[in-house]
């Protein structure tokens, strides 16, 4: 039976209304302040004797095993571990099949004192020349005390390489931290982008500072021994204690968590870059000088020039203090780094800037404030297609608890905010699209809460864009852009 003209007209009107309504949801001009209120778990550190910090059995057994990318391209891995009783071996045996270790690499050993605490023997060993997309098994330690682990190398650096990153910040070592870590490990992400504030050992005094660095190393080993964690330093890494005679910033952190900074021509382990699969990841230090002419400023300027979006379409920046956060905690602490680098982020079309520091979750729309200056009177952030999405994931679960007070009303740049613990994942599909999720720890359960499809800032706006269906182009993120 055919519809008459009036019915057809009404149907058309209805469909049109639906389209406009759905489009307005996608454009999401109003931000969301989540009404979820979590019941607080105790924000206290897990006791020293808890099994979460278990010391591996055996004399001088390697502990606190963790790995990170060891070069610029993902063909090297830097393996670190600690031995407690004696220096032991610096060797790593490794190979492509279990229990068959064809290769051996020799590392180096170091140690340090912090007040009267003497660290264990800290080993770092670089293994190079690895094949891409390959599972490697490795063994460290000797005799009955040796331990075996494995990791998988990333795919070759090329524009359509898919890859899944996890993002964790401000982790600490509480029961909430354990929940975050366990949920992250269910995510099947392949590498952690860690946005600073590792152990919160600096909340302790005297010898306990060193002891809590050790417990944290044993705590994260369950993940960090099997996949690289890309390190970025936060304020809790500063470890500045004049009353204990400890005044060298980042001392414990630098002894324990090396980075492949030389590979990206950096002069400091505090800031560096790596390329992994289809991503170029730039790590900045919020607590090292970054104003014009300083080494970090000069390095970043040169590194941004080296980014080749034809090879690595995804440009991701990590830093500790967020630039666009509307939480009362640490409000505007990222303003000085915004003034230094925001115009570069726009010019080079950075896709994402991940930060921590604020113990809550928040995601921005694409906004910028580069028109602000001290005489123009332009002082409000505006929607800007060239801007990255800024995401704060300082919600790992440390002993300082949540930052629950957001500024009201929610500013226009803020798309979603919630004071809960959790972690994020970024699943890169190809050069044009990635899926992003933030997963809340909801009293022990992992609950996907904020998610969107991200369109690449470089490839999303060239000829390929026209081949995609129109609705794919209207991602939530781009919604506020004019």
**Using CA atoms, how far apart are residues 320 and 193, in angstroms rounded to an integer?**
11
Q: Does 124 bind Fe ion (CB under 5 A)?
A: no
Q: Does 286 bind Fe ion (CB under 5 A)?
A: no
Binding residue (CB under 5 A) for Fe ion from 64, 89, 227, 235: 235
Q: Does 258 bind Fe ion (CB under 5 A)?
A: no
Query: Under 8 Å CB-to-CB from 179, ≥6 apart: which residues?
Result: 41, 397, 421, 441, 444
433 annotated active-site? no
Q: Which stretch binds Fe ion (CB under 5 A): 72-80, 227-235, 311-319, 418-426?
A: 227-235
**Nearest distance, CB of residue 101 and Fe ion, angstroms:** 40
**Using CA atoms, how far apart are residues 57 and 71, in angstroms rounded to an integer?**
32
**Using CA atoms, how far apart are residues 153 and 255, in angstroms rounded to an integer?**
25
Closer by beta carbon to Fe ion, 130 or else 220: 220
Binding residue (CB under 5 A) for Fe ion from 357, 359, 366, 431: 357
Q: Does 221 bind Fe ion (CB under 5 A)?
A: no
**Using CA atoms, how far apart are residues 260 and 301, in angstroms rounded to an integer?**
19
Closer by beta carbon to Fe ion, 45 or else 71: 45
DSSP assignment letter at 311:
T
Place of tokens 């980075």: 259
Q: Are 362 and 405 in contact (CB under 8 A)?
A: no
Q: Does 285 bind Fe ion (CB under 5 A)?
A: no
Residue number closest to Fe ion, CB atom: 357
**Nearest distance, CB of residue 460 and Fe ion, angstroms:** 32
Q: Which stretch binds Fe ion (CB under 5 A): 51-59, 353-361, 374-382, 425-433?
A: 353-361
Lookup: tokens for 207? 């010898």
Q: Taking the CA atoms of 341, 346, 351 and 356 in sequence, report the sign of the dihedral they define.
A: positive
Q: Which of 330, 423, 433, 437 is catalytic?
A: 330
Closer by beta carbon to Fe ion, 226 or else 331: 331
SS3 of 278, please? coil
Q: Does 325 bind Fe ion (CB under 5 A)?
A: no
Q: Are 185 and 222 in contact (CB under 8 A)?
A: yes
Beta strands in 57-132 (DSSP E): 63-69, 77-83, 91-95, 103-106, 108-110, 113-114, 117-118, 121-127
Binding residue (CB under 5 A) for Fe ion from 197, 237, 362, 412: 197
Q: Does 478 bind Fe ion (CB under 5 A)?
A: no
Q: Which stretch binds Fe ion (CB under 5 A): 70-78, 184-192, 231-239, 434-442?
A: 231-239
Beta 414-418 vs 361-364: how paired, if at all?
antiparallel
**Using CA atoms, how far apart are residues 249 and 251, in angstroms rounded to an integer?**
6
Q: Does 322 bind Fe ion (CB under 5 A)?
A: no
Phi, psi of 86 (to 5 degrees): -155, 165
**Nearest distance, CB of residue 196 and Fe ion, angstroms:** 6
Closer by beta carbon to Fe ion, 95 or else 401: 401
**Using CA atoms, how far apart are residues 10 and 65, in angstroms rounded to an integer?**
66
Closer by beta carbon to Fe ion, 197 or else 239: 197
Binding residue (CB under 5 A) for Fe ion from 234, 269, 396, 422: 234
Q: Which stretch binds Fe ion (CB under 5 A): 19-27, 191-199, 332-340, 472-480?
A: 191-199
Q: Which stretch binds Fe ion (CB under 5 A): 61-69, 193-201, 341-349, 401-409?
A: 193-201
**Nearest distance, CB of residue 271 and Fe ion, angstroms:** 17
Q: Are 157 and 275 in contact (CB under 8 A)?
A: yes
Please give the C-alpha separations between residue 302 and each of 224, 296, 298, in angstroms, as whole numbers: 30, 10, 6
Give the footprint of Fe ion on this chain (CB under 5 A).
Answer: 197, 234-235, 357
> Would you name the residues annotated as active-site residues?
330
């Amino acid at each position: 039976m055919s519809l008459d003209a009036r019915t057809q007209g009404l149907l058309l009107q209805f469909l049109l209304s639906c389209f406009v309504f759905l489009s307005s949801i996608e454009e999401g001009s109003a931000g969301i302040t989540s009404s979820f209120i979590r019941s607080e778990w105790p924000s206290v550190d897990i006791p020293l004797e808890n099994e979460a910090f278990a010391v591996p059995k055996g004399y001088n057994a390697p502990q606190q095993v963790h790995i990170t990318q060891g070069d610029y391209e993902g063909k090297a891995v830097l393996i670190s571990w600690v031995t407690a009783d004696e220096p032991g071996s610096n060797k790593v045996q490794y190979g492509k099949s279990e229990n068959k270790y064809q290769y051996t690499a020799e590392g180096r050993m170091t140690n340090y004192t912090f007040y009267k605490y003497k660290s264990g023997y800290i080993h770092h060993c670089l293994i190079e020349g690895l094949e891409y997309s390959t599972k490697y098994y490795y063994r460290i330690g000797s005799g009955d005390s040796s331990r075996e682990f494995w990791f998988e190398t990333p795919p070759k650096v090329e524009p359509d390489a898919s890859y899944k990153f996890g993002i964790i910040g401000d982790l600490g070592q509480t029961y909430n931290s354990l929940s975050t870590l366990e949920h992250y490990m269910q995510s099947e992400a392949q590498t952690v982008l860690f946005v600073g504030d590792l152990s919160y050992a600096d909340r302790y005094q005297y010898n306990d500072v060193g002891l809590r660095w050790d417990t944290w190393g044993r705590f994260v080993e369950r993940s960090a021994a099997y996949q690289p964690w890309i390190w970025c330093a936060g304020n809790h890494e500063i470890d500045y204690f004049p009353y204990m005679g400890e005044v060298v910033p980042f001392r414990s952190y630098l002894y324990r968590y090396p980075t492949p900074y030389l590979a990206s021509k950096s002069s400091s382990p505090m800031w560096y870059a790596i390329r992994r699969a289809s991503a170029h990841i730039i790590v900045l230090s919020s607590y090292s000088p970054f104003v014009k002419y300083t080494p970090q400023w000069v390095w970043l300027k040169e590194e941004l020039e080296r980014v080749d979006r034809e090879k690595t379409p995804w440009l991701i920046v990590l830093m500790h203090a967020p630039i666009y956060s509307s939480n009362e905690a640490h409000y505007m602490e990222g303003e000085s780094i915004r003034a230094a680098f925001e115009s570069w982020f726009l010019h080079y079309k950075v896709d994402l800037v991940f930060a921590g520091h604020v113990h809550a979750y928040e995601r921005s729309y694409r906004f910028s404030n580069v028109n602000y200056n001290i005489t123009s009177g332009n002082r409000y952030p505006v929607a800007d297609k060239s801007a990255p999405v800024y995401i704060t994931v300082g919600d790992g679960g440390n002993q300082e608890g949540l930052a629950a007070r957001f500024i009201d009303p929610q500013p226009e740049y803020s798309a979603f905010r919630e004071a809960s613990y959790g972690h994020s994942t970024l699943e890169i599909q190809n050069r044009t699209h990635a899926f992003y999720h933030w997963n809340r720890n909801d009293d022990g359960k992992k609950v996907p809460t904020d998610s969107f499809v991200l369109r690449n800032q470089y490839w999303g706006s060239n000829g390929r864009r026209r081949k995609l269906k129109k609705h794919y182009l209207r991602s939530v993120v781009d919604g506020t852009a004019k």
